[in-house]
């Protein structure tokens, strides 16, 4: 496992999944996603993986990320939050992502889903 921190987020890279935690009040744009995407490319190369978005803090996600900012070897997305507002946001985001997209209340559930995916 590798762990990285940037000025707007933290990311953990595991064999089958990545856990991304965006900091509070960040506007997560395509340019910020590009920084994450570069790190994912270096770590996973062409190996398939699942992204777990751990939404611990309120932040905004640009819709461009779903249409222009995803890697082809990212095979699914799990949103993790205890916040009902985040669940509502995920329902809006889900149609933008054409692959498996799930919502969990706990990080452990999302990790289990990611591990069972392969």
Query: Worst-scoring range by mean pLDDT, 10-14, 58-62, 75-79, 110-114?
Result: 58-62
pLDDT of residue 118: 83
Beta bridge partners of 18: 13, 51
Is there a contact between 40 and 24 (Cβ–Cβ < 8 Å)? Answer: no
Share of the chain above pLDDT 90, in %: 82
Is there a contact between 52 and 19 (Cβ–Cβ < 8 Å)? Answer: yes
Encode pLDDT of 97-107 as tens digits. 999 999 999 99
Task: Give the pLDDT mean for 7-31.
Answer: 97
**CATH code for 2-117?**
3.30.750.24
Task: Give the pLDDT mean for 6-32.
Answer: 97
Taking the chain, what is the end-to-end CA distance rounded to the nearest angstrom? 18
**Is residue 85 scored above 90 in pLDDT?**
no
Instruction: Note the helical H segments in 16-98.
Output: 30-44, 64-68, 84-93
Q: What is the domain partition of the chain in residue ranges?
A: 2-117
* Exposed/middle/buried for residue 71 (C-beta within 10 Å: 0-12, 13-18, 19+): middle
Number of helices followed by number of strands (H, E) in the chain: 4, 8
Pairwise CA distance, residues 118 & 113, whole Å: 9
User: In which residue are the tokens 């506007």 written?
Assistant: 27
């Amino acid at each position: 496992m590798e762990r990285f921190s940037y000025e707007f987020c933290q990311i953990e890279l595991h064999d089958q999944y990545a856990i991304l935690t965006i900091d509070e009040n960040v506007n997560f744009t395509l340019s910020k996603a590009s920084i994450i995407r570069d790190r994912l490319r270096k770590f996973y190369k062409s190996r398939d993986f699942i992204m777990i978005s751990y939404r611990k803090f309120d932040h905004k996600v640009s819709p461009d990320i779903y249409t222009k900012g995803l890697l082809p070897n990212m095979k699914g997305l799990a949103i993790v939050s205890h916040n009902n507002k985040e669940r509502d946001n995920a329902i809006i985001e889900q149609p933008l992502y054409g692959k498996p997209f799930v919502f969990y209340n706990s990080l452990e559930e999302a990790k289990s889903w990611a591990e069972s995916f392969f």
